[in-house]
């Protein structure tokens, strides 16, 4: 059975690479030591307590939350009609639009961040919060368009024509027939967009400024000056938060088939 052992070893390695770092972070979070070390020599919950007392984390967590929620909503609000138009109408230059819309997925986020910085801070005279919101929305829009497009592709045009012939106008057809049938895709796009915004570092790095910062940026800054397990504890909380969030939406809406 020599040949059957190889895939199992590879699978083990893959899991080790994927899950290993999380295990290290997870265990370190419960450390009783003063500095980040692995394995810890003693255990405690003190770093979880400390996370909650760091003011920069509290404020930036709130920023990240509203930023994530608002930019996701904005991206969906724009992305759904865009995806619908691309799927249903013969839009002139549809291919160009598609390439432009997906470019933030291909370009390095640092470049996008710099471009957005120039756009919002150097040219316009906008507030930091506004710049962040627009920057994140622009970043999330491609995710929204792509995922919603995928679920629209599975919806037959005849169904809309049927609604139309039964007396529904375009708007009624969209809200009563199209939207209920792409609900799962929209939810999946929303979850994906929110997580992307919440974890975003490169774009936020350029667009944050005095008084306004997101949680990942604050974590980076904190790590530059303090080398204690607080970050591990915070990371553990964030991982649990993400898992819970995804499980909940999967349970409620069954999104996994769209992503």
Partner 1 sequence: MNMSDFLSLENLTLAYTKGTAVVEGLHLGVAEGELVSLLGPSGCGKTTTMRAIAGLLVPRAGTVHLAGQDITHLPANKRDIGLVFQSYALFPHLSTFENVAFGLRMRRVGKDELAHRVMEALRTVGLADFAERLPAQLSGGQQQRVALARAFVIRPRLLLLDEPLSNLDAKLRLEMRAELRRIQRELGITMLYVTHDQGEALALSDRIVIMRLGKIEQMGTPEEVYAKPKTSFVAQFMGWDNLYPLETIAGVVGLPASAGYTHASWRPEAVLTGSGNLQGRVLARTYQGQSVEYLLESPFGSVKAVVAVEQAQWHEGQTLNFALPAEKAALLKG
Q: Give min distance, CB of 166 to partner 1, in A.
A: 4
- Interaction of residue 211 with partner 1, rule CB under 8 A: no
Distances (CA, A) of 101 to 38, 50, 145, 192: 43, 42, 8, 16
Q: How far is the CB of 154 from partner 1 (least distance, A)?
A: 10
Q: Tell the smallest beta-carbon distance from residue 179 to partner 1 (Å).
A: 10
Q: Is 44 a residue that touches partner 1 (CB under 8 A)? A: no
In angstroms, the CA 19 to CA 16 distance is: 5
Under the binding rule (CB under 8 A), the answer on residue 88 touching partner 1 is: no
34 three-state secondary structure:
coil
Q: Where are the alpha helices (DSSP H) in the chain?
A: 2-29, 46-53, 55-88, 94-106, 109-117, 128-153, 157-165, 170-173, 179-181, 183-199, 202-207, 215-225, 230-253
Binding-site residue total for partner 1 (CB under 8 A)? Answer: 18
Of residues 91 and 121, the one with the C-beta less far from partner 1: 91
Residues 151-210 that bind partner 1 (CB under 8 A): 156, 158-159, 161-169, 172, 176-177, 180-181
Binding of partner 1 by 93 (CB under 8 A) = no
- Are the C-beta atoms of 252 and 54 separated by less than 8 Å? no
Query: Which residues contact partner 1 (rule: CB under 8 A)?
Result: 90, 156, 158-159, 161-169, 172, 176-177, 180-181
């Amino acid at each position: 059975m020599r040949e059957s052992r190889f895939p199992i070893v590879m699978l083990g390695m893959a899991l080790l690479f994927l899950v290993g770092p999380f295990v290290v972070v997870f265990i370190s979070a419960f450390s009783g030591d003063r500095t980040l070390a692995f394995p810890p020599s003693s255990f405690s919950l003190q770093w979880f307590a400390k996370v909650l007392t760091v003011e920069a984390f509290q404020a930036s967590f709130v920023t990240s939350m509203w930023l994530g929620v608002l930019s996701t909503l904005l991206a969906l609000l724009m992305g759904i009609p865009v995806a619908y138009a691309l799927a249903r109408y013969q839009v002139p230059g549809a291919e160009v639009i598609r390439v432009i819309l997906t470019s933030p997925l291909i370009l390095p986020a640092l470049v996008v961040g710099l471009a957005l910085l120039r756009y919002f801070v150097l040219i316009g005279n906008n507030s930091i919060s506004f710049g962040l919101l627009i920057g994140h929305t622009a970043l999330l829009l491609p995710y929204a368009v792509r995922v919603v497009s995928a679920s629209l592709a599975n919806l037959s045009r005849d169904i809309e024509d049927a609604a139309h012939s039964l007396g529904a106008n375009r708007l009624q057809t969209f809200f009563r027939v199209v939207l209920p049938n792409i609900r799962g895709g929209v939810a999946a796009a929303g979850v994906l967009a929110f997580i992307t915004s919440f974890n975003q570092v490169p774009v936020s790095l350029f667009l944050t400024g005095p008084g306004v910062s997101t949680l990942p940026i604050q974590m980076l800054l904190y790590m530059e000056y303090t080398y204690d397990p607080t970050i591990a504890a915070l990371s553990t909380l964030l991982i649990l938060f993400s898992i819970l969030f995804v499980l909940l939406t999967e349970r409620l809406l069954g999104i996994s088939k769209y992503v």
